[in-house]
C-alpha cells in the first residue's frame, strides 16, 4: 500500500529533499504550515493539552483551598514544563508561565475576596492605602522579568519557592509591632510587594500577610485583605506582561504577549471549581502532615529550576 507523505512547504526556494542543515541555514520548512519538528503545535488546544492544564488547575485550586497557599508556586513550574515539552522557546517558557499564573489569579482572587467579604474579613482601608503602590510595582515587576534571561528568572523563582516552603514548614507569625506606617512608607511597601509578586507570578500573600500581622491586623483579616490585594497585583502584572510581549519576533501558538491564553482559560475554570472543595476538606482534616509534604515538593521544584 502506498503511504502518502505529509506535504512540506519550504521557504527561500528550498527543495523539500534538501538536507535539514541546509533548511536550518537558509530558511524555515513547514509541515502543513507549522514549523518542522513542531508537530506538538499543530493544534493550539488539543485533548492532551486540555487534560494537562485541567490537572494543573485541579491541583492548584484544591491545594490552595486545602492548605491556604497561593497557586503561583504550583502553577508556574508545571505550566513552564508543559510549554517546554511542546517546544516553546526556552527563554519564553517561564515568563509565559508567570504571566499565565498572574492572569489566573485575576479570576481566582475575585472568588476568594467574595468568600472573605461575606465573613467581614477584608479591611478595605488597608487595601486602599496599599493598592496604589502595588499597582505601580506590579507593572514595573513585569518589565523587569521580561528583561531578565530565562535562567536568572528561574533562579529567582527557585528562591521564592524555597522561601515559601520554609515559611510553610516553620509556620511562624510575626509579633505585632505597630499600626500601619504613613502613606509614603506604605506606598513603598506596596511597591515592593507588587514588584516581587509580578516577577514570580504570585498573589503577594507571602509578603502582605506578614506585613499586616506586624501592623496589628488580625490573622483572618490579614488573609482576607491579602486576597483583595491579589487582584491589583494580578491585573497590573498581567497587563505588563501582555504589553511587554507585543511584537515578539516568534510568538508561540496561543500566546497574547507573554500570556498563554489556553492555560488561562482551562486552569482558571478548574481551579475555581476545586478551591471550595479543598477549603471544605481542610475543616475535616489535619493538614499539618500535608503541609510538610508539600514543602518538600516545593524544595524539589526549587532545585529543578536551579539545576535545569
**Highest-confidence range of 30-39, 65-74, 92-101, 296-305, by mean pLDDT?**
92-101
Q: What is the average per-residue pLDDT within 113-121?
A: 83
Q: What is the average per-residue pLDDT within 41-67?
A: 82
Contact 230/95 with Cβ under 8 angstroms? no
* From 177-181, 272-276, 302-306, the region with the lowest mean pLDDT: 177-181
Q: What is the average per-residue pLDDT within 5-24?
A: 40
In the chain, pLDDT over 90 holds for what percent of residues? 38
Contacts of 181 (CB under 8 A, 6+ apart): 189, 215
> Per the structure block, which three cell numbers stand in for 211?
506585613
* From 30-39, 65-74, 111-120, 164-173, the region with the lowest mean pLDDT: 30-39
* pLDDT band for position 178 (cuts 50, 70, 90): low
Query: Is the per-residue pLDDT at 120 higher than 90?
Result: no
The span from the CA of 245 to the CA of 255, in Å, is 9
Residue for cell digits 528568572? 153
- Reduce the DSSP state of residue 275 to 3 states and report it: helix
Looking at residue 285, its pLDDT comes to 76
Nearest to residue 96, comparing CAs of 153, 50, 152?
A: 153
Which is more confidently placed, 195 or 296?
Answer: 195
pTM of the model: 0.79
What are the helix (H) ranges across the chain? 20-26, 47-67, 72-85, 90-118, 124-147, 150-170, 183-200, 205-214, 219-244, 261-282, 288-307
Tens digit of each residue's pLDDT (9 = 90 or more) over 208-249: 888 888 888 888 888 889 889 999 999 999 999 999 998 787
The span from the CA of 270 to the CA of 284, in Å, is 22
Amino acid at each position: 500500500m502506498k503511504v502518502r507523505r505529509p506535504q512540506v512547504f519550504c521557504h527561500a526556494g528550498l527543495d523539500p529533499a534538501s538536507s535539514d542543515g541546509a533548511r536550518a541555514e537558509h530558511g524555515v520548512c513547514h509541515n502543513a504550515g507549522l514549523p518542522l519538528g513542531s508537530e506538538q503545535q499543530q493544534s493550539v488546544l488539543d485533548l492532551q493539552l486540555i487534560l494537562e492544564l485541567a490537572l494543573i488547575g485541579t491541583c492548584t485550586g484544591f491545594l490552595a483551598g486545602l492548605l491556604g497557599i497561593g497557586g503561583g508556586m504550583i502553577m508556574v513550574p508545571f505550566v513552564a514544563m508543559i510549554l517546554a515539552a511542546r517546544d516553546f522557546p526556552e527563554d519564553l517558557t517561564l515568563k509565559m508561565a508567570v504571566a499565565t499564573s498572574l492572569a489566573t489569579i485575576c479570576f481566582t482572587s475575585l472568588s476568594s475576596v467574595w468568600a472573605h467579604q461575606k465573613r467581614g474579613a477584608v479591611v478595605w482601608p488597608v487595601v486602599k492605602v496599599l493598592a496604589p503602590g502595588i499597582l505601580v510595582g506590579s507593572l514595573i515587576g513585569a518589565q523587569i522579568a521580561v528583561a531578565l534571561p530565562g535562567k536568572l528568572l528561574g533562579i529567582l523563582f527557585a528562591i521564592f519557592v524555597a522561601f515559601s516552603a520554609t515559611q510553610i514548614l516553620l509556620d511562624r507569625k510575626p509579633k505585632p509591632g505597630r499600626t500601619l506606617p504613613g502613606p509614603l512608607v506604605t506606598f513603598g511597601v506596596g511597591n515592593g510587594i507588587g514588584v516581587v509578586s509580578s516577577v514570580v507570578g504570585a498573589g503577594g500573600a507571602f509578603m502582605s500577610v506578614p506585613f499586616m500581622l506586624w501592623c496589628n491586623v488580625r490573622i483572618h483579616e490579614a488573609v482576607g485583605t491579602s486576597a483583595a490585594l491579589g487582584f491589583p497585583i494580578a491585573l497590573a502584572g498581567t497587563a505588563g506582561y501582555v504589553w511587554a510581549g507585543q511584537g515578539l519576533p516568534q510568538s508561540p501558538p496561543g500566546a497574547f504577549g507573554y500570556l498563554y491564553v489556553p492555560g488561562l482559560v482551562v486552569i482558571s475554570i478548574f481551579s475555581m471549581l476545586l478551591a471550595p472543595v479543598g477549603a471544605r476538606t481542610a475543616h475535616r482534616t489535619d493538614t499539618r502532615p500535608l503541609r510538610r509534604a508539600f514543602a518538600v515538593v516545593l524544595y524539589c521544584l526549587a532545585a529543578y529550576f536551579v539545576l535545569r
